[in-house]
Amino acid sequence: MDDEQLIRLLGERRDDEAFRALYARHTAHVYGLLCRLIGRDGDAADLMQETWLRAVRHLTLFRGQSAFRTWLTGIALNCYREWRRRHARDVEMPDGNGFTARVRDADEAAAVAQILARLHPDHREVIVLHDIEGFTHDDIAAALEIEPGTSKSRLSRARRAFRQRWHESTP
């Protein structure tokens, strides 16, 4: 079944199988995003749980104007932003989880994670969503509730900031 059918079953009958199918289909992706944004598995797991609780609670608000994964990602980003505001003073540097598949070695993964952690949260979000997760600018716009043009310009500024910090950190 596709997401639309599963959502209908979940919304109409609170069908456990439909929930399990949606959960299995989308959790790894959104959890990976949260790990990359936060850098701590335990906090990412907590936010993933909160994301699903909110998604099920507000399932009637899903209108199908974007993909379910995009909508779920938007909820996860809202949970992340709330978490970030609560933990603004005690956020640790990410440890590189999730980056090893896209970089040459663990040292480089740690360097990428540290630079991402030092970027402005708006920049970190758009780099993770576009360059790591592969979202389109339309998907990012829907998830962050911004215009696609804003996503493009934010990504350009984010990449510039990332490159600058990368060059500053390498001998």
| Separation CA 143–CA 163 (nearest Å) | 25
Dist CA 6 CA 118 (whole Å): 39
How far, rounded to the nearest angstrom, does the alpha carbon of residue 42 sit from its chain's CA centroid?
A: 15
Helix (H, G, I), strand (E, B) or coil at 90: coil
| Rounded Cα gap, residues 98 and 101, in angstroms | 7
Q: What residue segments make up the domains of the chain, in order of their start? A: 1-92, 94-171
Q: How far is 159 from 131, CA to CA, in rounded Å?
A: 10
Reported as a single tens digit per residue, the pLDDT across 44-94 is 999 999 999 999 999 988 888 889 999 999 999 999 988 888 876 443 334
Digit-coded pLDDT (tens) for 11-34:
888 889 999 999 999 999 999 999
**In CATH, what is the architecture of 1-92?**
Orthogonal Bundle (1.10)
For range 133-161, the mean pLDDT: 92
Burial (CB count within 10 angstroms: exposed 0-12, middle 13-18, buried 19+), residue 29: middle
Predicted local confidence at residue 98, as pLDDT: 45
Looking at per-residue confidence, does 98 or 36 come out higher?
36
Q: Does 118 have pLDDT greater than 80? A: yes
- State residue 90's pLDDT score: 45
- In angstroms, rounded to a whole number, what is the distance separating the alpha carbons of residues 57 and 131? 31
- Given the candidates 3.30.70.360, 3.40.50.2300, 3.30.450.20, 1.10.10.10, the CATH classification of the domain at 94-171 is 1.10.10.10
| 104 — pLDDT class (breaks 50, 70, 90) | very low
What is the dihedral angle through the alpha carbons of 49, 62, 121, 35, rounded to the nearest 10 degrees? 30
Dump the DSSP string for 94-107: P--TTTTTTSSSHH
Does the pLDDT value for residue 127 go beyond 60? yes
> Mean pLDDT across the stretch 130-150?
90
Report which of 163, 162, 138 is spatially closest to residue 152, judged by C-alpha positions.
138
**Between 114 and 109, where is the model more confident?**
114
